Structure formats: C-alpha cells, structure tokens
Structure 1
Amino acid sequence: MRRALDALYALSAGLAAASLFGIFAVMMIQIALRQFEVQFSGSDDLSAYLCVGTTFLGLAATFKRGELIRVGMFLEKLPTGARRWAELFALALGIAVMGYITWWTAQDVLFSHEIEEVAQGTVPFPLWIPKLVMPVGGGLLLIAVIDEFISVLMGHEPEYVRAAAERAARGDFSAEV
C-alpha cells in the first residue's frame, strides 16, 4: 500500500510538472507565432487552466515532502504527547477542509458538465475539463492528509516533519524561507 500511495503522489507531481511545462510550451508557441503575426487563440485561457492544474496536482506531493506552508512554531514547543494530539487535531481539520473542498469542486465539475458550460474567451473550452483538476488534486491531497493522519495515529512521526528535518540536516533551508 505504501508503494502505491507514494507512486500516486509521484504521479501527481509528474502531472503538475507536465502542466508547468505546458504553460511554458503555450508561451513559447505564442511568442513564435507573434513573429509571423499569427494569433494563438485561447492561449491565455489555456495557460490559466494549466496554472490551476500545476497548483492542484502538485498539492499532495508538496504536502508529503513538507514543503507546503505550515506553522510548526507552536507544535515544536509542545511536549511529545501533546504535540502528537495537536498534530492529529490539525490533520483532522485538514481532512475536514479538504473533504469539503473536494466535494464542492466535484459538484461544480458535474454542474458545469450538466449545463455544458463553456469558457467566455476566444475558444469555447468546455469548462468541466479544466475544472476537473481541482477535485482530482484536492482528492489527492485529501488522501495524503488521511495517510499522514493514520501514520500519526499509529505513533509515527509525520513524513512532512521528517522531510523538513532531513532538509535542515543537509543545511537546506529553502523551504523554510
């Protein structure tokens, strides 16, 4: 199960990277076409959709690596037992919030598909397609938070705490800035 979850997080990070590369490709194509005075219709919308994909698809892997913004100053001051309960509370809150976000973004995708909503830009993209990355990425983050909750419940240190400690031990404080 651990390998399957880690593969899922790696896949989501790969898809986020592909979305980021897609933004680059759209921008380069747009620049090249300008030289020939040709418009790339829908490029702004496509870049925006890929930006959302990059953000949402990268959430789970970023969380597991301990690179999401997290305020640990309070938790670090607590004794070990209290820290574990505070961590469980924070993860439970994260599960509730991500469950809510995933549910409602999925409902928005279904509604957009049902009413055949299209983009208002130059190219009428069906909006349910780019909106789909929000519940998928949110759902992946929800799985990652549940994964950490179960891990902490079983008495293990959260993976994101271990990852941050390993970076600090190497002298890499880039995620802390």
Structure 2
Amino acid sequence: MRRALDALYAASAGLAALSLFTIFLVMMAQVVLREMNQQFPGADDLSAYLCVATTFFALGATFKRGELIRVGMVLDRLRPGARRVMELLVLGLAATLMAYVTYWTAQDVAFSWEIEELAQGTVPFPLWIPKLSMPLGSGILLIAILDEFVAVLRGLIPSYVRAAEERAAAGDFSAEV
C-alpha cells in the first residue's frame, strides 16, 4: 500500500511538473509566433488552465514533503501526547475540508460536462477538461491527509514533520520562510 500511495504522490507531482513545463512551451510558442506576426489562439486561457492544474496536482506531494504552509507555533510546544491529539484533530479538520472541496469541485466538473460548457475565449475549450484537475488534485491531497492521519493514529511521526526536521538538521530553512 505504501508503494502505491508514494507512486500516486509522485505521479501527481509529475503531472504538476508537466503542466508547468507546458506553460513554458505555450509561452515560448507565443514569443516565436509573435516574432512572425502570428498569434497562438487560446494561449492565455490554456496557460491559466495549466496554472490551476500545476497548483492542484502539486498539493499532495507538497503536503507529504512538509512544504505547504503550516503553522506549528502551538503544536511544536506541546508534549508528545497532547501534540498527537492536536495533530489528529487538525488532520481530521483538514480531511473534512478537503473532502468538501473535492466533492464540490467534482460536482462542478460533472455539471460542466453535462451542460457541455465551453470556454468563452478565442478557443472554445470544453471546460470540464481543465476543471478536472481540481477534484483530482484535491482528492490526492485528501488521500495524503488521510495517510498522515492513519500514521499519527499508529503513533508515527507525520512525514511532513520528519521532512521539516531533516531539512532543519541539514541547515535548509528555505521551506520555513
């Protein structure tokens, strides 16, 4: 199970990287075409959709690496037992919130598909396609949160805490800023 979950987080991060690279390609194509007095129809819309995909697909892997914004001022000062309880409470709250986000973004995708909603820009993209990254990415984040919830229930240190501690031990405070 651990391998499958890690593969899911890595695949999601790979999709985020691919989306980001595609934004680069679209922008470079715009530059080249502009020099030839040509246009790239729908490039702005496509870049915006890819930006959303990059963000949502990166959530799960970023969370697992402890690189999402996290305020530990209170948790870091608690004793281990109290910290574990608070960690479970916060992870439970985060899971509830992400389940809500995942459900409603999935509903939005289904509705866009049902009514055959098209983008209003120069290229009429079917909007359910770019919207699909939102429930997929938030669903992967939900899985990552539940993964950490189970780990804390089992008495383990969350991977995001371990990752932050390892970075701090190596003198890397870049994710803490």
TM-score bracket for this pair, using the shorter chain length? over 0.9
CA distance in 2, matches of 1:115, 1:123: 18
Cross-structure match for 1:71: 71
The DSSP-based 3-state class of the residue aligned with 1:58 is helix
Q: How does 1:14-163 map to 2 (within 5 A)?
A: 14-163=14-163
**Offset from partner CA, 1:35-73 (integer Å, 9 cap, x none):** 110010000000000000000000000000000000001
The DSSP-based 3-state class of the residue aligned with 2:74 is helix
CA distance in 2, matches of 1:90, 1:170: 27
The DSSP-based 3-state class of the residue aligned with 1:140 is helix
The DSSP-based 3-state class of the residue aligned with 2:119 is coil
Residue type matched to 2:168 in 1?
Answer: A
Q: Offset of 1:89 from its aligned partner?
A: 0.2
CA distance in 2, matches of 1:113, 1:34: 34
Residue type matched to 2:129 in 1?
Answer: I
Percent of counterpart pairs with the same letter?
71
CA distance in 1, matches of 2:145, 2:30: 38
RMSD: 0.4
**Offset from partner CA, 1:131-160 (integer Å, 9 cap, x none):** 000000000000000000000001000000
CA distance in 2, matches of 1:58, 1:26: 20
CA distance in 2, matches of 1:105, 1:11: 21
In structure 2, the gaps of 5 or more residues are none
TM-score, length-scaled by structure 1: 1.00
- Which ranges of 4 or more aligned residues in structure 1 deviate by more than 2 Å? none
TM-score, length-scaled by structure 2: 1.00
Residue correspondences, number: 177
CA distance in 2, matches of 1:79, 1:165: 17
Q: Offset of 1:31 from its aligned partner?
A: 0.3
Q: Offset of 1:85 from its aligned partner?
A: 0.3
In structure 1, the gaps of 5 or more residues are none
